[in-house]
Amino acid sequence: MIVLCVDHIGIAVKSLEEALPFYEEILGIKCQGTEEVAEQKVKTAFLPVGDSELELLESTDPDGPIAKHIAKCGQGIQHIALRVDNIEVALAELREKGIRLIDEKPRYGAGGARIAFVHPKATNGILLELSERQTK
């Protein structure tokens, strides 16, 4: 497995509309658009910062994973994503090493990425996302 960079940091927010002005108007980081990922019950907004991004996540369903995260932990960092060169190879290597995975196979993520999550019990409490992108 080759980890290329920190792809993005996922930040759970109650409302993109309320959260975006801080990043855009105060910090000067411009949103590159929003996207709804129905499969994950989430609406996302990506804000590029250098070679990485901040990903704001708003739940589209009260039973969605982001809504549950906010109910349990409040708003804030939800996950860290590492970009890998080949997600199938990365998952196979982690399985071979006995690492507990949430996703055994890649799934669709925002921005056309192929993603998979590693269980926080395997990463000392961090929800770690592996992300493979063709272009960025």
- For every residue of 104-128, DSSP letters joined together read SS-EE-GGG-EEEEE-GGGTTT--E
Quote the pLDDT of residue 49.
Answer: 96
The pTM assigned to this predicted structure is 0.92
Number of structural domains (the chain) is: 1
Domain hosting residue 17, numbered range: 3-132
Residue-level pLDDT at 63: 95
Q: How confident is the model at residue 129 (pLDDT cuts 50, 70, 90)?
A: very high
Arithmetic mean of pLDDT, 37-49: 94
Question: Which CATH number covers residue 30?
Answer: 3.10.180.10
- For residue 35, what pLDDT is reported? 94
